[in-house]
Amino acid sequence: MKHPFGLEAFVDWLETQPPAGIYNYRDNNSCAYALYLQSIGISASVGAYQWHRDDTLEEFDLPNEINETVRGSKAQWTFGAAARRGRQFLESVS
């Protein structure tokens, strides 16, 4: 079973989004990972190294591969580009 907060589940979700859809990496509440968490019922704020649940204020480390998947460059803040970066990370570890 895929861990719901892991890269594999996140990339699977990215691949269901419109490839040209744009997100804002710099916005803690509307970066791609925050949008993913919202899609699984978790309201959260996401930073470069941590994220926290808005309801419980629990903090979690944000794995570097997730941050790098979302970050890219400003011209590449689309779901399709993030999905490609995430798949590359997954393929590099398999």
Residue 69, domain member (yes or no): yes
pLDDT tens per residue, range 7-29:
999 999 999 999 999 999 999 99
**Strands of the chain, DSSP E:** 44-46, 50-53, 59-61
Number of structural domains found in the chain: 1
Rg (the chain; Cα; Å): 12
Residue 86, domain member (yes or no): yes
Residue 2, domain member (yes or no): no
Q: Which residues pair with 51 in a beta bridge?
A: 46, 60
Residue 1, domain member (yes or no): no
- pLDDT at position 34: 97
- pLDDT at position 27: 95
Q: Is the pLDDT of residue 80 over 80?
A: yes
Domain that holds residue 66: 7-93
Residue 87, domain member (yes or no): yes
| Whole-structure pTM value | 0.93
